Amino acid sequence: MGIISMEKVDHLYWLGRYTERVYTTLRVFFHIYDKMIEQPEGIYAKYCERLNIPNIYTSNRQFVRSYLFGEENPDSVLSNMKRAYDNAVVLRDELSSTVLSYVQLALDTFESCRKTTAPLLELQQVIDYLLAFWGGADDYVEQEDCRNILKCGKYVERLDLCMRLGYHTENLEKE
């Protein structure tokens, strides 16, 4: 067991947070997407309010495109996926190429989703790659301290999102 630099601790923590943010917001987005089909325009406004992101969207359709894939939108899921990747790349030695490859696959799949008008099936693959990333982190990240810092970021983000999104108390206790 070696000493981990503060810079690497920061990257591990934020890699955990960003991957969890992408994972959780995609799962929640699937439910919002279903509601947008049945509900009037602007149903996403409550979601934006809960996550404390500016409601810069003009329609349900524009929300889907910009919130998921907006390159200039710092709150987009794609922006968060890119941040996760940026943190993962500098941690290649700590993570292993196997674990890093799942972040790369998730990002590549996410970016290819932009070209389709019905991205939900491909977005499910992104979720699957992120789950594989977490499984790989358990198996291939050799330093226990690195795994723990990564998981700390993950669970901090999960709790934050659960509270913001108004999960029931029993679900919060589970997390």
pTM of the model: 0.91
Is 51 inside any structural domain? yes
Structural domain that includes position 111: 6-174
User: Is residue 37 pLDDT above 80, yes or no?
Assistant: no
pLDDT (0 to 100) of residue 169: 63
pLDDT above 90: percentage of residues in the chain = 67
Distance CA(110)–CA(41), nearest Å, equals 25
Whole-number percent of the chain with pLDDT over 70: 94
> 170, 157, 171, 168: which is closest to 25 by C-alpha?
157
Q: What is the pLDDT of residue 10?
A: 97
156, part of any domain: yes
Q: Has residue 1 been placed in a domain?
A: no
